[in-house]
């Protein structure tokens, strides 16, 4: 498969390592032309305010939305999720607005409150890292939860997207990547 990773800022390299370790082809997406011929796109974690600004400067915001409307499958991790959300609590940052969710940035506190957690997902135990992670505070009807911690959604999907408030790629976990490939890109459900 050919998987793009938005390469403007953030945990780009880690996602590329996972993609290549699974024998797929990784494409660094820096311009709209890099969005051609992708099976899926990953929007990595980083700093959503910076991502938002760079997406706009490069015209990639409208480029990604256009491809999404044509069927591109997208996975947002952490800041990538924030960039996909329709609403950010208390802020007016420009996002792609593709997900009917409201999120609270830095929902668990500051950098020092980042933490690692073992979670059970898809019959597997994955170690994932929450790094100044957002909290999902409202979800619309088309959102299907995939994983909850203390009754809060931390991973979910729609027909053509997946989103995780945490980073699975920084610990080398491949189970969320495999789910994105097998159940979002290859399988049309819902
Ligand atoms: N706190 C960051 C933001 O608001 C997200 C952190 C991350 O992606 N690890 O953009």
Q: What pLDDT digit, counting tens, does each position of 66-84 carry? A: 999 999 999 999 999 999 9
Ligand 1 contacts CB of residue 131 (under 6 A): yes
Over 60: is that where the pLDDT of 189 sits?
Answer: no
Cα-to-centroid distance, 66 and ligand 1 (Å): 25
Q: Is the CB of 129 within 6 Å of ligand 1? A: no
Mutation probe of ligand 1 site: the residue of 42, 51, 79 with most atoms within 8 A of C-beta? 79
SS3 189: coil
What value does the mean pLDDT take over residues 171-178?
Answer: 96
Share of the chain above pLDDT 90, in %: 93
Distance CA 63, CA 66 (A): 5
The reported pTM is 0.96
- Ligand 1 nearest atom to the CA of residue 46, by list position: 8
CATH of the domain at 44: 3.40.50.880
Q: What is the DSSP string of 85-128?
A: EEEETT--------EEEEEETTTT-SGGG-EEEEEE-SSSEEEE
Under DSSP, the state recorded for 186 is S
Is the pLDDT reported for residue 21 higher than 60? yes
For residues 117-142, average pLDDT: 95
> What's the pLDDT at 161?
97
The mean pLDDT value of the chain amounts to 95
For the cut 70, the answer to whether the pLDDT of residue 188 exceeds it is: no
Catalytic residues: 78, 167, 169
Residue 174: what pLDDT? 96
| High-pLDDT (> 70) share of the chain, % | 97
More confident call, 138 vs 188: 138
Q: Give the DSSP letter string of 21-81.
A: HTT-EEEEE-SGGGGTT-SEEEE--S-HHHHHHHHHHTTHHHHHHHHHHTT-EEEEETHHH
From 82, 108, 111, give the residue whose CB has the most ligand 1 atoms within 8 Å, as the site to mutate. Answer: 82
Domain range for residue 75?
Answer: 2-186
Total of domains in the chain? 1
Q: Find out whether the beta carbon of 128 lies less than 6 Å from any atom of ligand 1.
A: no
Q: What is the β-pairing status of strands 73-77 and 40-43?
A: parallel
Q: What is the pLDDT of residue 113?
A: 74
Closest ligand 1 atom to 50 CA: 10
């Amino acid at each position: 498969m050919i998987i793009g990773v938005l390469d403007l800022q953030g945990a780009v390299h880690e996602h590329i390592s996972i993609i290549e370790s699974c024998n797929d082809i990784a494409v660094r997406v820096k311009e709209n032309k890099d969005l051609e011929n992708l099976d899926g796109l990953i929007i990595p974690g980083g700093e959503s305010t910076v991502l938002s600004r760079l997406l706009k400067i490069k015209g990639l915001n409208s480029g990604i939305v256009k491809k999404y409307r044509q069927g591109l499958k997208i996975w947002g991790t952490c800041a990538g999720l924030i960039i996909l959300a329709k609403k950010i609590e208390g802020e007016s940052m420009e996002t792609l607005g593709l997900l009917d969710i409201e999120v609270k940035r830095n929902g668990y506190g500051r950098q020092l409150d980042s933490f690692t957690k073992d979670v059970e997902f898809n019959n597997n135990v994955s170690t994932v890292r929450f790094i100044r992670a957002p909290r999902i505070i409202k979800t619309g009807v088309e959102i299907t939860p995939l994983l909850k911690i203390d009754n809060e959604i931390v991973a979910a999907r729609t027909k053509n997207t997946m989103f995780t408030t945490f980073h699975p790629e920084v610990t080398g976990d491949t189970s969320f990547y495999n789910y994105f490939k097998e159940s979002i890109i290859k399988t049309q459900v819902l």
